[in-house]
Amino acid sequence: MVKKFDIHQLSQPSSWVEYDSEMSDCHCDARRNGDYCRCKTVASTKITEICIPEIVNLLFKNTEENNDKLLKYCVNRILTYSSANEKEHWIVSVSNGYYGQETDGTYLDYSTVGKLSIPISELLESKSLHQRVLIALEWEYGYLLDSLKDIKSCTEVSVDPAEIIVPQQEYYRKMDKEAIEQYKDFDGPICICLKVGDAYKVVDGYHRLQANIDKSSINILVLE
């Protein structure tokens, strides 16, 4: 069944993030008496890994917007730079089952979901590509770069990554290898560039560009 994309799904338990849990020991007589033990409780839980691209895929699964790669990209950016990317904001859901307590997935705390719903509804209300990209960039940087204030369009183009201009070379060299590895199979625009004359200058996606620098061509979003 096709539904509409809804960020509030994150406050419902599902397999959003990875976790471990430990059960309490059983001290009852049930098993000795030939019955089932129902006294176990969840003693402790721990979030072990957050993978934003996986969360985004789950959120968009079976939705009308599932093929909208740019919207997925913007949601990915917003989640990455939010508390959704911090383990302490995820909760392991514990419920009472027939055989005692059990865990049934994880959910994001209500306050984080509430904060996320603001830029996400802005995204959904914006119909043009460039507005959506600017909302995601403004969220990421906390402000809108001066060079982006007069942007009127955004188009997806295929280019040789070697041709892209990378400012801030120093920062580029210091990027950690682990972050770069994550982006090798990135499904979506590799980076966002600003058109300067005939050249493309990166404004977002340094890690993703670095991860895909050896390819003969990559898809990028060009702002003009």
Q: Are 61 and 34 in contact (CB under 8 A)?
A: no
Kindly tell me which of 4 and 27 has the beta carbon lying closer to Zn ion. 27
Helix, coil or strand: residue 15: coil
Residue 101 C-beta: closest distance to Zn ion, Å: 11
What's the DSSP call for residue 220?
E
Kindly tell me which of 26 and 213 has the beta carbon lying closer to Zn ion. 26
Helix, coil or strand: residue 117: helix
Stretch that binds Zn ion, among 25-33, 123-131, 135-143, 199-207 (CB under 5 A): 25-33
Kindly tell me which of 39 and 180 has the beta carbon lying closer to Zn ion. 39
Stretch that binds Zn ion, among 33-41, 81-89, 101-109, 131-139 (CB under 5 A): 33-41
Which position among 28, 51, 196, 199 is part of the footprint of Zn ion (CB under 5 A)?
Answer: 28
Kindly tell me which of 37 and 70 has the beta carbon lying closer to Zn ion. 37
Sheet with 154-159: list strands edge to edge. Answer: 154-159, 218-223, 191-196, 199-204
Which residue in this structure is represented by tokens 């790669």? 69
Stretch that binds Zn ion, among 22-30, 71-79, 170-178, 208-216 (CB under 5 A): 22-30
Which position among 11, 13, 14, 26 is part of the footprint of Zn ion (CB under 5 A)?
Answer: 26
Residue 103 C-beta: closest distance to Zn ion, Å: 17
Chain positions 34 to 73 lying near Zn ion, rule: CB under 5 A, are 37, 39
Kindly tell me which of 37 and 94 has the beta carbon lying closer to Zn ion. 37
Query: Which chain residues interact with Zn ion by CB under 5 A?
Result: 26, 28, 37, 39
